[in-house]
Structure 1
């Protein structure tokens, strides 16, 4: 993810990150923005493409009454307006060869947001630093089966958070010190906050409670006590809730109007991190996506933030209201093996809406003295807000094991060792190679439906994708650089079989769509084109050279771009799927991070890429499929100037 550690002596934003591949038909000339280069560059593409989007409105039922017809028409107009705004935002925040999405012209270090939210005066409950008495499961074993579930206790809640959302280390150069976390974040800015809603847990609370997780202290801040009958009425025994919210300002401080995208990447990474940590304790996870924004806000106590009136333009000054937390999702964590159970969503909603009458403790701390309000971020968040959607049925999907191409590539690390050693690479060495079967194994763990076979991919049944309650909407275009036994070139991983024909029709007709040699039958991976991808990978990733010595996207073993089926999904499932598509890319990115570290290499997410040139490369001509997130995997180059310090106890620094 862009700039994994802050360089305090920089006065302009460090170049963000990304990747892709070359082809040889038409020639495109473009100029680089002054921030990076000033000379003309040349790229060759197979086809030209333009970004377009069409919005269709649904018509009301012919059997409706005039009043119902009017209400339906008004709702359709509102939905159309929201969809139009979201599509406009997406196009407005694209990076292109001749311009970047709007952002700050330099970094205001004096007002860098505090990455640690605290609720002042709320009781702080320290969590035990976990030393489990049992042997933790090996990382790769979790993709095959879950261990037996552990009971909820202070110890297991501590372990759960320690291996999902806690600090993983501190770094220092001598003049600058900053923290790292188990869950990655764009620019290491960490907009994501987490809340625990749980039944009584000895040594934490004698009553059912809502608590905010304070990662710097590895502690829970008790915000409120909730009715004792809440959990027995709605959820199975030994279960609890995890809520996630986003402080948009933390990302907008560095990345401007594109920050809404990055915040939702981070939500996805956090969902993936939570699902993996829960699995190691024998717990399953599911996003409760029937609930709407108002329910989430009250469940996490976010109604305590003052109302925010969105300005009509970018505004600078003291605007503490933009430090509010936007409610993203709530996940149910429950014991693996629990039989199907139903949730009465209407009664659950009514119970949660009553939470605003609880006695909430703690006042949120301020994060910056001065701010810049990028109004389009907040308007887009409003347009993509999800309401309560009654009629949905909660279902416990059967666990589906992932495919196995070989387990000898993994270093015998436990899940806990992998997640706490995960780092975002700042350089790739341009030398490290991986075996073809290791590459295939990584991709098998990226499939939503596990080992059900390439012709059956779509339902999200495998770890950690099973946390998401919708069918897979995200695919991957892969640029293979250094995989032994696999030709360099462009490949494509189809993660939902129902999209195959649509993808093939939308992309360049010259692509091969052949299975590569030795590819497992259950892996829907296709070779599209053989070519050296490295130069184009560099160019399409905003020409990124983190240390100005290595090219992060071209010097790895492979890189990829995640393509979401976007505009049809927003029409079919509603506009609130827009942030959720980014969540899905974040979960997929989390798997890539962990896979890389488990086999002994590294990875990094790339949020800065030239959107439409990527689409042009593939032959995509409209907004049906859009590139939302990029990634690179390879051998890391370590910066020996940076010293590591333990996560706990850490220095007294809010960074």
Structure 2
């Protein structure tokens, strides 16, 4: 039996650890990419850029990824994008007490679809109110800042959202494109679409939600590593939209066959002009750095209409060009900062991952697969709307609270992509809520550092989320690991114990020496199949791996709050130190996100204020 506390302590304290070189990873990638008959020189160059970025932005014990030496408060980006001159359409404020739509229980979302509600001003308002709006304001001393329903690294919120919808009563007599303004909980109508537009290709009652990223908002604080965090946030936003849609009986699917230019046209982006990427990091007045990078478009549609829903991406792309290129766009994007710093590698990497139209991509809606519920009492009847709007990121954990084993197992059951209801289910396909929004089989697993779970030995555990990767994971990790199912583990839960032992100090050191990773009930690292995912599915899989971690993180946030505790995403961790703990060599598997779940310590110096109406400041 491997005791991680003793065997790895020497490594974790060693000052001699260095990240592998960029050349090593690039050569690994080059070998893999050249083995594919479909590889082209441009594809190989793009893949090398991704590996260069990923390796260059790793943290290690001796060196953090490049970033600002201090925070330039005078140029902190405005967290609220506005389109000056566009028509502002106020949405309805629907607190739980006044909602006309009964909120389903949180646990029920994982079991079966909710009662279908029609698309209207009220339901569209609720979708955005429960996914992307402000959730509160916080104040202490001279500082005041806003919080949102969807979490964000450093509360910087690089993610913007757009609604592309058919005519909706009391909203618009025509199909329209609008930017969502969370501070006002309003839609900024940027253009009206004549005729039926795109919506003849979609089921009745369907509409689109587009997500984009302003890299500068994260780069202001985090420098080169910001591209990772922006994509975590995209995943959290996707998860938030899926949860809010499910309350209303709506399903959500990513239109992942569309290309970058299709997304840009749908959201009306590109108005800031082409951003010229410098050859090195530079500081100055660079207003074009505030452009929005289109990430993805989600189709939201009534649950159960999937059988009548098929899409030809080439036809859809052609329709987008036909309809959207002729539109007149209203409003000018506001300025976010006076001066900027351009971390050039972020923009080179984003450029390398501009996805083309995938003509051969298959769009399909798989049947809903439910997840196992161990006990009705675990969530104490919590309602979905209560959970999503009270979600907060914990700042500290108490280091005392002990989680019941059945709660631990239940949380992990809801982290499985294929569900676990109705007999043995092989994990891999994304069929369960909320992961069914994604179009690819799961590529992300979780290594867990268990600290305080009643009846479960402390130690290192592994949640396998795609069983096709199981043998590769066993071969890639330390030979001394046990790979044994823990006592009382549900049959459908693909959880394995790797090693017993106290791993609190290891988890703390691996998460950039942060107590919050060791003072929780458990913390975890999300491990993605990396080389093969990029080589099999192409370079644009890189941000999608982070999106999958963000959706998984969103589940962990909501699960924690639903059982009365809290969680926090941790973007700062020592990448290759985690790989060493697991025994991983090369880049076949890579750590992409850390998380921690436990009982929070509240800072009583900070006062909470209602989300609406809030202060007039942009913060």
Give me the TM-score of the superposition, normalised by structure 2.
Answer: 0.95
Alignment-derived partner of residue 54 in structure 1: 29
Alignment-derived partner of residue 25 in structure 1: 7
Alignment-derived partner of residue 335 in structure 2: 366
Q: 2:129 aligns with which of 152, 156, 162?
A: 162
Q: Is the counterpart of residue 565 in structure 1 residue 509 in structure 2?
A: no
Alignment-derived partner of residue 412 in structure 1: 381
Tell me if the contact between 1:406 and 1:438 (Cα under 8 Å) persists in the aligned partners.
Answer: no
Alpha-carbon shift at residue 382 of structure 1 (Å): 0.8
Hey, what's the Cα distance between the residues in 1 that align with 2:205 and 2:8? Answer: 60
Hey, what's the Cα distance between the residues in 2 that align with 1:229 and 1:222? Answer: 17
Alignment-derived partner of residue 346 in structure 1: 314
For the aligned residues, what is the CA RMSD?
1.8
Alignment-derived partner of residue 481 in structure 2: 511
Alignment-derived partner of residue 257 in structure 1: 224
Q: 1:135 aligns with which of 92, 97, 102?
A: 102
- 1:91 alignment partner, SS class: helix
Q: Deviations over 1:517-542 (max 9, x none)?
A: 00000000000000101111111111
Q: 2:403 aligns with which of 421, 429, 434?
A: 434
- 1:212 alignment partner, SS class: strand
| Superposition map of 1:528-567 within 5 A | 528-544=498-514, 551-567=515-531
Hey, what's the Cα distance between the residues in 2 that align with 1:139 and 1:29? Answer: 43
- 1:169 alignment partner, SS class: strand
Change (3 A) 1:617 1:49: farther
Change (3 A) 1:198 1:97: same
Q: Deviations over 1:416-469 (max 9, x none)?
A: 000000000000000011100100000000000001667600000111100011
| Superposition map of 1:587-602 within 5 A | 587-602=551-566
Hey, what's the Cα distance between the residues in 2 that align with 1:454 and 1:117? Answer: 47
Alpha-carbon shift at residue 250 of structure 1 (Å): 0.2
Tell me if the contact between 1:513 and 1:526 (Cα under 8 Å) persists in the aligned partners.
Answer: yes
Hey, what's the Cα distance between the residues in 2 that align with 1:29 and 1:399? Answer: 45
Change (3 A) 1:418 1:59: closer
Hey, what's the Cα distance between the residues in 2 that align with 1:589 and 1:221? Answer: 30
Alignment-derived partner of residue 472 in structure 2: 502
- 1:483 alignment partner, SS class: coil
Q: Is the counterpart of residue 187 in structure 1 residue 154 in structure 2?
A: yes
Alpha-carbon shift at residue 44 of structure 1 (Å): 12
Q: Is the counterpart of residue 214 in structure 1 residue 181 in structure 2?
A: yes
Alignment-derived partner of residue 176 in structure 1: 143
Q: Is the counterpart of residue 266 in structure 1 residue 241 in structure 2?
A: no
Hey, what's the Cα distance between the residues in 1 that align with 2:4 and 2:472? Answer: 23
Alignment-derived partner of residue 375 in structure 1: 344
Hey, what's the Cα distance between the residues in 2 that align with 1:647 and 1:392? Answer: 41
Q: Is the counterpart of residue 109 in structure 1 residue 76 in structure 2?
A: no
Change (3 A) 1:330 1:414: same
Gap regions ≥5 residues in structure 1: 1-20, 31-40, 62-71, 545-550
Hey, what's the Cα distance between the residues in 2 that align with 1:281 and 1:557? Answer: 33
Q: Is the counterpart of residue 489 in structure 1 residue 459 in structure 2?
A: yes
Change (3 A) 1:289 1:418: same
Tell me if the contact between 1:426 and 1:552 (Cα under 8 Å) persists in the aligned partners.
Answer: yes
Alpha-carbon shift at residue 409 of structure 1 (Å): 1.7
Alignment-derived partner of residue 594 in structure 2: 630
Alpha-carbon shift at residue 59 of structure 1 (Å): 7.0
Hey, what's the Cα distance between the residues in 2 that align with 1:54 and 1:134? Answer: 51
Q: Is the counterpart of residue 620 in structure 1 residue 602 in structure 2?
A: no
Q: Is the counterpart of residue 313 in structure 1 residue 280 in structure 2?
A: yes
Hey, what's the Cα distance between the residues in 2 that align with 1:346 and 1:640? Answer: 55
- 1:430 alignment partner, SS class: coil
Aligned positions, number: 605
Tell me if the contact between 2:214 and 2:291 (Cα under 8 Å) persists in the aligned partners.
Answer: yes
Tell me if the contact between 1:24 and 1:44 (Cα under 8 Å) persists in the aligned partners.
Answer: no
Q: 2:370 aligns with which of 401, 404, 415?
A: 401
Alpha-carbon shift at residue 58 of structure 1 (Å): 4.5
Alignment-derived partner of residue 245 in structure 1: 212
Q: Is the counterpart of residue 478 in structure 1 residue 448 in structure 2?
A: yes
Alpha-carbon shift at residue 653 of structure 1 (Å): 1.0
Larger RCO, structures 1/2 (Cα 8 Å, 6+ apart): 1
339-348 or 368-377, larger mean C-alpha shift: 339-348
Alpha-carbon shift at residue 379 of structure 1 (Å): 0.3
Alpha-carbon shift at residue 227 of structure 1 (Å): 3.1
Alpha-carbon shift at residue 186 of structure 1 (Å): 0.0
Hey, what's the Cα distance between the residues in 1 that align with 2:6 and 2:589? Answer: 23
Q: Is the counterpart of residue 90 in structure 1 residue 54 in structure 2?
A: yes
- 2:314 alignment partner, SS class: helix
Give me the TM-score of the superposition, normalised by structure 1.
Answer: 0.90
Alignment-derived partner of residue 124 in structure 1: 88
Change (3 A) 1:26 1:201: closer
Hey, what's the Cα distance between the residues in 2 that align with 1:208 and 1:583? Answer: 29
Tell me if the contact between 1:454 and 1:523 (Cα under 8 Å) persists in the aligned partners.
Answer: no
Alignment-derived partner of residue 326 in structure 1: 293
Alpha-carbon shift at residue 300 of structure 1 (Å): 0.1
Change (3 A) 1:476 1:44: farther
Alignment-derived partner of residue 652 in structure 1: 616
- 2:270 alignment partner, SS class: helix
- 1:552 alignment partner, SS class: helix
Alignment-derived partner of residue 542 in structure 2: 578
Q: 1:423 aligns with which of 381, 392, 395?
A: 392
Hey, what's the Cα distance between the residues in 1 that align with 2:463 and 2:129? Answer: 33
